[in-house]
Amino acid sequence: MGDFKKGESKMTFPSKFAETLKKHGNKNAYAFVGEEAKTYAQANNEIQALTAFLEKKGVSPGDKVAILSTNMPNWGIAYFSITFMGAVAVPILPDFSVTEVKNVLDHSEAKAIFISNPLLNKLEGYKSETLKTIIQIEDFSVAGASDLFSGFDITAVPEGKYQVEEEDLASIIYTSGTTGRSKGVMLTHKNITFNAMKGMVIQWIDENDRFLSVLPLSHTYENTLGLILPMLGGACVYYLRKPPTPVVLIPAMAEVKPTMMLTVPLIMEKIYFNKILPAFQEKFVLRFLYKIPFFRKILHKAAGKKLYATFGGNLKFYGIGGAKLNRTVEQFLIEAKFPYAIGYGLTETAPLLAGANPSKSVFESTGPAIEEIELKINNPDRKTGEGEIWAKGPNVMKGYYKEPEMTAEVLTPDGWFKTGDLGTLDSRKNLYIRGRLKNMIVGASGENIYPEEIESVINNFRFVVESLVIQQKGKLVAMVHLNMEELEKKYQHLKEDMSEKYEEKKEELLAELKEYVNSNVNKFSQITKVIFQPAPFQKTATLKIKRFLYT
């Protein structure tokens, strides 16, 4: 267990929560936007009562308890009640399919599940030897219970005294992953707590901070940095009752005035390509000025001020992770003086491996390794310095649940985790990600082609929302999803005229796109064909395209 310095508590959730309770018991902890918040003291009472309730339901240390719910204050209450008693939380992504949900419940042998009302249908017809209790997370009532005495009692206290250790499992997180079969990542109390504590080193959090949560809590990024991190600092987290569409998000940001937000690239990319860029393209004069770097910077700075105000005007930290940020959008954020920060990590590393404070953001880099974590480029290419990123540190998972072979593939005997990502480190130890190892395409003459890099060129082209570059019969093909609304607005007159002319325009646009891409990429990354993709691509929780469905 290691010796603890005087006054230093264990790296476990109950231990850290107890500290926060002492310091910030009367401070707000969790709330829905525009509704009354629970303080840390109130949250603690509910956690204790819920632990007592789980005891009554036969849950013991080491048992698995699933959470299948949208974000809400009770999500954290449920998560802590499970982990404070030494049981293991199994968060499930709300957009998992019925089959995926059943697979996770079967594989984890979950004894109980907390589930939000709208998701109950995902359990319809599900039969299991192990799953004994279904608890509705909104009010902690037992689904289908006829027994009046089986209810949740807010005054109850746990009977057991639980000694939770750092190396105990806190959570098994099943990655939706872009590769198909889900894997259960085993994370200990120390894995997650250490990671959140190191997040504090990058950006200090205290009781005056307000988080606005927009990513699913069942994803390790939001879970560690949006639930455990604010708890360490005694900050308050605000949740939305509806999905974070602009109509919901803009008034919420005005109300909460968040100091901290954790997001994925797609959110800012949408704002830039749908709102900011079109504003500079409307009038000829602006369009002309926008092409001159000096004026572009002035325009970006003005747009940045407006954008900052839209976000509530108090943001200190706008974290972007989960996928690569478009470089044009990043250039805008720099010139707009927006407080963005890029982080890099994986579920297997709880998640953060590299990142920097907004004041230290480096263009196109994720920043350096976070404190006490080693990163290395394994077997780097002599010319380019590129290779697979390997990581080592107290946040590396125990392994994949019930999958020793899969674990042995990614964890070396001396503790290095193979990330499966390709990257380089510069002289100042800043990390640059090139793409996923398994997405890499080997060209006809053995060149390494990174589809992600070609896609970022394609996505800068007008009317393009997203794209996917795949190899077909040895040739590179781009599948492209367009912003049909914008397109129809522009060619409205043709659409009414005759659909043939409109189709012609679309074909012209795709041909122009191909030419544009090929003039902006190296010789072996040239695309031979552009295919129109009518529907948006299917995505994971961090809004990465599920490539395996299309290749």
Of 169-178, 182-191, 489-498, 504-513, the least confident: 489-498
Of 174-188, 264-278, 419-433, the least confident: 174-188
208 pLDDT more than 90: yes
Strand partners, 64: 88
d(CA 500, CA 407): 55
pLDDT at 505: 82
* Arithmetic mean of pLDDT over the chain: 91
pLDDT at 211: 98
281 pLDDT more than 90: no
Q: Which residue has the tokens 């907004």?
A: 358
Of 53-57, 410-414, 445-449, the least confident: 445-449
According to DSSP, the β-strands at 340-345 and 352-355 are antiparallel
* Strand intervals (E) in 445-537: 448-449, 464-472, 475-482, 529-532
Q: Tokens standing for 334?
A: 């720099």
181 pLDDT more than 80: no
Coil, helix or strand at residue 490? helix
Calculate mean pLDDT across residues 369-380: 97
Alpha helices per DSSP H over 155-233: 189-202, 220-223, 229-233
290 pLDDT more than 50: yes
pLDDT at 242: 94
Class of domain 441-549: alpha beta
157 pLDDT more than 90: yes
Calculate mean pLDDT across residues 319-341: 94
Of 4-13, 309-318, 333-342, 453-462, the least confident: 4-13
Task: Please name the residues in contact with 420: beta carbons below 8 A apart, sequence gap of 6 or more.
Answer: 388, 410, 436, 437, 438
d(CA 256, CA 254): 6
Task: Please name the residues in contact with 462: beta carbons below 8 A apart, sequence gap of 6 or more.
Answer: none
Question: For 539, which DSSP code?
Answer: B
CA–chain centroid gap for 394, Å, is 21
230 pLDDT more than 70: yes
d(CA 67, CA 286): 50
d(CA 76, CA 281): 44
Q: Which of 378 and 448 is assigned the larger pLDDT? A: 378
d(CA 367, CA 358): 10
pLDDT at 4: 42
Question: For 531, which DSSP code?
Answer: E
pLDDT in tens, 71-122: 999 999 999 999 999 999 999 999 888 888 998 999 999 999 999 999 999 9
Q: Which of 4 and 52 is assigned the larger pLDDT? A: 52
499 pLDDT more than 80: no
pLDDT at 125: 86
CA–chain centroid gap for 157, Å, is 35
179 pLDDT more than 50: no
pLDDT in tens, 6-25: 456 899 999 999 999 999 99
Residue 365 vs residues 204, 300, 424, 512, 529: alpha-carbon distances, Å: 21, 21, 10, 30, 31
Q: Tokens standing for 453?
A: 């890099």
CA–chain centroid gap for 51, Å, is 28
Q: Tokens standing for 475?
A: 């040739």
Using pLDDT thresholds of 50, 70 and 90, give the confidence band for residue 150.
low
Using pLDDT thresholds of 50, 70 and 90, give the confidence band for residue 145.
low
d(CA 438, CA 387): 13
pLDDT in tens, 219-229: 999 999 999 99
323 pLDDT more than 90: no
pLDDT at 504: 83
| Encoded amino acid at 209, one letter | D
Radius of gyration of the chain (CA): 24
Q: Choose among 195, 176, 173: nearest CA to 543.
A: 176
Task: Please name the residues in contact with 195: beta carbons below 8 A apart, sequence gap of 6 or more.
Answer: 224, 228, 349, 350, 351, 352, 395
pLDDT in tens, 126-140: 999 999 999 999 999
pLDDT at 62: 98
Contact 227/237 with Cβ under 8 angstroms? Answer: yes
Q: Is 441-549 the same fold as 13-191?
A: no
196 pLDDT more than 80: yes
Class of domain 13-191: alpha beta
Alpha helices per DSSP H over 203-292: 220-223, 229-233, 246-256, 265-271, 277-281, 284-290
Q: Which residue has the tokens 């560690």?
A: 224
Residues 256/262/265/268 CA torsion (nearest 10 deg) = 20
Q: Choose among 300, 219, 207, 301: nearest CA to 260.
A: 207
Q: How many CB atoms sit inside 10 A of residue 97's CB?
A: 11
Q: Which residue has the tokens 């690569």?
A: 324
**Would you report the helix, strand and coil content of the chain in percent, each value rounded to 5?**
40, 20, 40
Dihedral sign of CA atoms 127, 64, 186, 439 in order: positive
Q: Which of 121 and 503 is assigned the larger pLDDT? A: 121
Using pLDDT thresholds of 50, 70 and 90, give the confidence band for residue 493.
low
Q: Choose among 239, 232, 254: nearest CA to 37.
A: 239
36 pLDDT more than 80: yes
pLDDT at 99: 84
Task: Please name the residues in contact with 433: beta carbons below 8 A apart, sequence gap of 6 or more.
Answer: 324, 344, 366, 389, 421, 422, 423
Task: Please name the residues in contact with 472: beta carbons below 8 A apart, sequence gap of 6 or more.
Answer: 529
pLDDT in tens, 409-446: 999 999 999 999 999 999 999 999 988 888 888 777 67
pLDDT at 178: 40
∠ at Cα 226 (225, 229), nearest 5°?
55
510 pLDDT more than 80: yes
pLDDT at 72: 98
Q: How many CB atoms sit inside 10 A of residue 159's CB?
A: 9
Task: Work out the percent of the chain whose per-residue pLDDT is above 90.
Answer: 73
For the chain, the distance separating the N- and C-terminal CA atoms, rounded to the nearest angstrom, is 47
Calculate mean pLDDT across residues 294-322: 96
Is there a cis peptide before residue 351, judged by omega within 30 degrees of 0? yes
Domain extents in the chain: 13-191, 441-549
According to DSSP, the β-strands at 464-472 and 475-482 are antiparallel
Element (H, E) at 425: strand 417-425
pLDDT at 529: 93
